[in-house]
Homo-oligomer: A and B are copies of this chain.
Amino acid sequence: MRKFNRPLPGDIRTADPVFAERIKVCIAETIPATMRKTVETGRLDAFKLNWKEGDKNKPHIFWDSDTAKVLEGMAYCLALNPDPELEKNYDEWVELICSAQQEDGYLNTYFTRIESEKRWAYLSWGHELYCAGHLIEAAVAGYECLGKRKLLDCICRYADYIDSVFGLEEGKRRGWPGHEEIELALIKLYRVTGNKRYLKLASYFVNDRGTEPNVFKTEIGEANWDGGQNLQAHRPVREQDSAVGHAVRAVYLYAGMADVADEENDVALLEVCECLFEDIRQHKMYITGGIGSGFAGEKFTIPYDLTNSSLMYAESCATIGLAQFAIRMFNITGNNKYLDVAELALYNGALSGISTRGDTYFYTNYLEVDDNLVTYNSGAKVRQPWFACSCCPTSFARFIPQLGTFLWSAGDNEIAMNIPAACHADLKLKDGRRVSCQVEGDYPYDGKIRITMETAGNYRLLLRIPSWCKQYTVTMNGKTTDSVIQRNWDIGDVVELNLEMPVSVIRSNTKITGNNGRIALKRGPVVYALEQIDQQVPVRETLIDIDGGFRLFRDLPGLPEGTVGITGKAVHEYFQDSNALYTDEPPTREDVPFKAIPYALWQNRGDGNMAIWLRAK
């Protein structure tokens, strides 16, 4: 069904000011740091299955997922940047993980060593199938990117075993993953192995979910049953029309549903995915692409409930998950609206979750931070190197090296430039032909893009025109043309895309009550924020002069080279009596300049207040 294939991480070599820099830092810092933490905290050693009462580092139900995610990231980084030392570590990790596999194929440290009698007994909250999913993704990554079979073979045995346990057939039991993930992982496994068993199992997990009698309700018991919305199991997935519950779980499920719909040519299921995506895009997404605004339960709340601080969440993993869901929907349908969301999430709400040094992370991605606002996620105003529940750091370890895979897609005799960031792309068409090209430019900080084709032949080049772009030009060897170019390409043909990228003043739906009277600055796909360190007066007292003209500047020491800031006129509004709690004194106003930086880069030059949604003069 799908229109496009997604390239492998190694197929795209980024050379832009954002992704290339992040990938470089990931290889140099994030992978070593998360590997170290995985070892130090006992997550890797858990696979030795020798933990005993009294030992430190008691294995936890979700630990295997962290190890698997870091391993997956190691594979991608090795594909991008061969490194014998890292490869040696990789092989040792795989060795150890495989050694924990049980006779019957089962592979889970917690439910082997700690609560072996509870295997498959806590489906709703045990993270057992979730951990399996991440092990599958890691195994597929190692095979696809490095050609290594050891973990893949091991994990196929595990998947075969899981398939022997779950399903509607006689001799099997019904069961669903409490935290979805295995659905999309099984599709990956199906794609590399061609074994339809995995597709069928993924399809079972998707299609049985939420049907009666409800597996989770039976497990949790009538008395404690909350309706199942948190686990997206309140009704069959085909009857779901609103994004609900734990946001990471939700978008992982939706991504898996999209994959199953794709592989099974299931148009009805794809329509459900589209409906859920639209509910997120139209009602439940921050301007940054952040989702899951409810701190309590890390979840989707009601439409338009998108507060900027205190109670908000927008977990890094959820935003990354949204990008992964969106890119799948684009590759299946070819509809650019999915890329608009993927791009927004990537440049803003996802990358905000990791420091420019690549070694600290946000769980919660606040849109506003102020000394006088309580944040209910304590300590969350400053990125942390690790968490007890450390899904976000390990998500970045595997997500950052995948950034290139969002840039291009390859279809049936056509290639699509999704995000025009500078890179070298080596793409495999559906017929197996490879097409490569070089993209140059300064995107996302500049809209001028130059593409030099390196493969001759007849194929189509699709250039996405982002929805934020109102005016653009395309030239082919200097002559104006369209954003879809089909021709007999010569090596060295040059296509130039020029996306006009003025500073936009964004307002939000009046139903997001806290944003009323406020504006945000956005340029291209990049959302800007005022960080206190750059201002002469408090962020909270700064009113942007939206008619005063904006200028771009590049002098931002401490931020990645090439970062473009926005400066302009503002008004400092304050009270003469700054101590009064309430006053009938009219405020005083004085002109000041302001400086805005890309939101994703805040809190990299010390701690301080920050806001995206600003008052306008």
- CB-CB under 8 A from A504, the residues of chain B are 584
Say whether, besides A307-B310, A581-B282, A573 and B540 are in contact (CB < 8 Å). Answer: no
A388 at interface by CB-CB < 8 Å: no
- Kindly state the separation between the CA atoms of A573 and B510 in the bound complex, as whole angstroms: 9
Contact bitstring A186-228, B, C-beta under 8 A = 1, else 0:
0000000000000000000000000000000000000000000
Contact A580 B517 (CB under 8 A): no
Stretch at the interface among A25-33, A58-66, A145-153, A295-303: A295-303
A283 at interface by CB-CB < 8 Å: yes
- CB-CB under 8 A from A294, the residues of chain B are 374
Contact B513 A583 (CB under 8 A): no
A505 at interface by CB-CB < 8 Å: yes
- Kindly state the separation between the CA atoms of A540 and B515 in the bound complex, as whole angstroms: 10
The closest CB in chain B to the CB of A509 belongs to B581
- CB-CB under 8 A from A578, the residues of chain B are 509-510
The closest CB in chain B to the CB of A284 belongs to B581
A585 at interface by CB-CB < 8 Å: yes
The closest CB in chain B to the CB of A515 belongs to B582
Contact B582 A615 (CB under 8 A): no
The closest CB in chain B to the CB of A502 belongs to B584
Contact B287 A582 (CB under 8 A): yes
Contact A584 B372 (CB under 8 A): no
- Kindly state the separation between the CA atoms of A248 and B507 in the bound complex, as whole angstroms: 40
- CB-CB under 8 A from A580, the residues of chain B are 509
Say whether, besides A296-B376, A505-B584, A507-B587, A579 and B282 are in contact (CB < 8 Å). Answer: yes
* A573 CB to nearest chain B CB (Å): 7
A514 at interface by CB-CB < 8 Å: yes
- CB-CB under 8 A from A518, the residues of chain B are 517
* A508 CB to nearest chain B CB (Å): 5
- Kindly state the separation between the CA atoms of A168 and B505 in the bound complex, as whole angstroms: 67
Contact A368 B513 (CB under 8 A): yes
- CB-CB under 8 A from A125, the residues of chain B are none
- Kindly state the separation between the CA atoms of A301 and B309 in the bound complex, as whole angstroms: 15
- CB-CB under 8 A from A282, the residues of chain B are 579, 581
- Kindly state the separation between the CA atoms of A463 and B517 in the bound complex, as whole angstroms: 42
Contact B584 A506 (CB under 8 A): yes
Contact bitstring A507-537, B, C-beta under 8 A = 1, else 0:
1111111101110100000000000000000
A contacts with B, residue count (CB < 8 A): 56
- CB-CB under 8 A from A310, the residues of chain B are 307, 310-311
A315 at interface by CB-CB < 8 Å: no
Contact A508 B574 (CB under 8 A): no
Say whether, besides A305-B374, A581-B281, A575 and B517 are in contact (CB < 8 Å). Answer: no
- CB-CB under 8 A from A568, the residues of chain B are none
Contact B281 A512 (CB under 8 A): no
- CB-CB under 8 A from A538, the residues of chain B are 510
A373 at interface by CB-CB < 8 Å: yes
Say whether, besides A581-B281, A615-B516, A374 and B511 are in contact (CB < 8 Å). Answer: no
Say whether, besides A373-B305, A578-B509, A514 and B514 are in contact (CB < 8 Å). Answer: yes
The closest CB in chain B to the CB of A293 belongs to B374
A317 at interface by CB-CB < 8 Å: no
- Kindly state the separation between the CA atoms of A512 and B370 in the bound complex, as whole angstroms: 10
- Kindly state the separation between the CA atoms of A573 and B543 in the bound complex, as whole angstroms: 19
- Kindly state the separation between the CA atoms of A366 and B18 in the bound complex, as whole angstroms: 43
* A113 CB to nearest chain B CB (Å): 28
Contact bitstring A256-281, B, C-beta under 8 A = 1, else 0:
00000000000000000000000001
- Kindly state the separation between the CA atoms of A578 and B513 in the bound complex, as whole angstroms: 14
Say whether, besides A516-B540, A540-B516, A506 and B372 are in contact (CB < 8 Å). Answer: no
Contact B508 A581 (CB under 8 A): yes
Contact A374 B302 (CB under 8 A): yes
- Kindly state the separation between the CA atoms of A376 and B507 in the bound complex, as whole angstroms: 26
Contact A511 B372 (CB under 8 A): yes
* A285 CB to nearest chain B CB (Å): 7
A304 at interface by CB-CB < 8 Å: yes
- A303, A506, A581, A584 — which one has the most chain B CB atoms within 10 A of its CB? A581
Say whether, besides A282-B579, A283-B581, A374-B305, A574 and B510 are in contact (CB < 8 Å). Answer: yes
Say whether, besides A372-B303, A376-B311, A509 and B575 are in contact (CB < 8 Å). Answer: yes
A87 at interface by CB-CB < 8 Å: no
* A74 CB to nearest chain B CB (Å): 37
The closest CB in chain B to the CB of A577 belongs to B509
- Kindly state the separation between the CA atoms of A512 and B511 in the bound complex, as whole angstroms: 21
Give 5 nearest A-B pairs by CB, closest first: A304-B372, A372-B511, A504-B584, A305-B374, A517-B615
Where the two chains meet, the residues of A that have a C-beta atom closer than 8 Å to any C-beta of B are 281-283, 285, 287, 294, 296, 301-305, 307, 309-311, 368, 370-374, 376, 504-514, 516-518, 520, 538, 540-541, 543, 573-575, 578-587, 615
Known: A310-B310, A507-B586, A510-B538. 13 other contacts (CB 8 A): A287-B582, A294-B374, A302-B372, A302-B374, A371-B511, A372-B512, A372-B513, A373-B513, A509-B583, A510-B573, A510-B574, A510-B575, A520-B582
Enumerate 19 A-B pairs (CB-CB under 8 Å) in ascending A order. Answer: A294-B374, A302-B372, A304-B372, A311-B376, A370-B511, A372-B512, A505-B584, A506-B584, A507-B575, A507-B585, A508-B583, A509-B575, A510-B574, A511-B540, A512-B581, A516-B540, A516-B541, A516-B573, A517-B517
